[in-house]
Homo-oligomer: A and B are copies of this chain.
């Protein structure tokens, strides 16, 4: 079947059978799109030659809706894993790609997602080297779930880990917060026509490479505040280091529209997911240099220092509010925004 014929069909259980229909889908859509020597062997796996320290990270993506302002589940599945590899201080190089598709998904949507993955992978400098496609019956999934596992070479100057976080370290965010989560939420709540909030889904690996090239070991920790938001990452740092983390509301970059949407929906932007943002915990000496470097890039143009790790031995995040008060940012307990990524 030619791709043009496939385009007018839908995914059905036969596409996950391992038989002729699976082969056709792979040949016409997957192999044609990704076309690289790793995939073209059509083996059960890919062979790589590696001589270095590598970072490996895996993530499944179950976002609902699968198409949203600024990206779709395919791009998200690339960016999310590329960024997780980058947060380990590594240069992402390879991705595995596994689909769980619900019977009835339109082939057009599937192809659109596959093409977005290809573009996002190219853009991020990674190759899709191996994959899998499963199909589940209608009502046993939700359109499409995607798993990606990323592999990348650790940057020679990187030395990133929680135990390198020190008293006095500065907390830098690379841009405005809560964009991705609010893009999804406004769409789900039917508010998308009143807002232009766009997901920040993007790759951060080049920005991270620049940081590591420039500052090496003085970058102590990198984290992307996806599920659980900025508060999730900072709470983790406070708990794992047993130090109070102080942040300043006036310094936290937040778009007006996003703040307004959070207010309408009763959400605290500190808990809302981001997909193109990272937090760097850095030596206080380099704070200004890091901010300056990040701002040279479009993705980091609103980078700010938002606080520091205090000497107080207490696993808490303290927010200094706009009006001069202080409040504890309590950890998120249950679910605020299901299936945001």
Contacts and interface: CB of A to CB of B under 8 A. Distances in A.
Interface of A: 12-14, 16-23, 41-62, 64, 84-85, 87-88, 90, 94, 96-100, 129-132, 134-137, 139-142, 145, 147, 149-151, 154, 160-162, 223-224, 226-229, 232, 236, 240, 273, 331-336, 338-339
Question: Which has the most chain B C-beta neighbours within 10 Å: A14, A18, A240?
Answer: A18
Contacts of A129: 56
Given A45-B56, A58-B98, 10 more contacts: A18-B273, A22-B228, A42-B162, A44-B88, A45-B55, A45-B150, A49-B52, A58-B130, A62-B136, A140-B142
B54 A12 contact: no
A196 B43 CA distance: 33
12 contacts: A42-B162, A43-B88, A45-B57, A47-B55, A58-B97, A58-B132, A60-B134, A61-B134, A134-B145, A134-B339, A140-B141, A151-B151
Contacts of A142: 136, 140-141
Contact of A17 (B56, B94, B135, B227): B227
A228 B132 contact: no
Contacts of A20: 331-334
Given A94-B56, A100-B60, A339-B136, A19 B49 contact: no
A335 B232 contact: no
B56 A151 contact: yes
A194 B244 CA distance: 63
Given A55-B45, A55-B47, A58-B149, A338 B13 contact: yes
Nearest to A239: B23
B12 A335 contact: yes
Contacts of A13: 334-335, 338
Which of A13, A45, A162, A335 is most buried by chain B, counting CB atoms within 10 A of its CB? Answer: A45
A334 B62 contact: no
Contact of A44 (B147, B223, B240): B223
Contact of A19 (B84, B96, B232): B232
A338 B57 CA distance: 29
B56 A96 contact: yes
Contacts of A55: 45-48
Contacts of A23: 236, 331
Given A142-B140, A147-B60, A339-B136, A19 B333 contact: yes
Nearest to A63: B134
A153 to B, nearest CB: 10
Contacts of A50: 50-54
Most buried by B among A57, A58, A332: A58
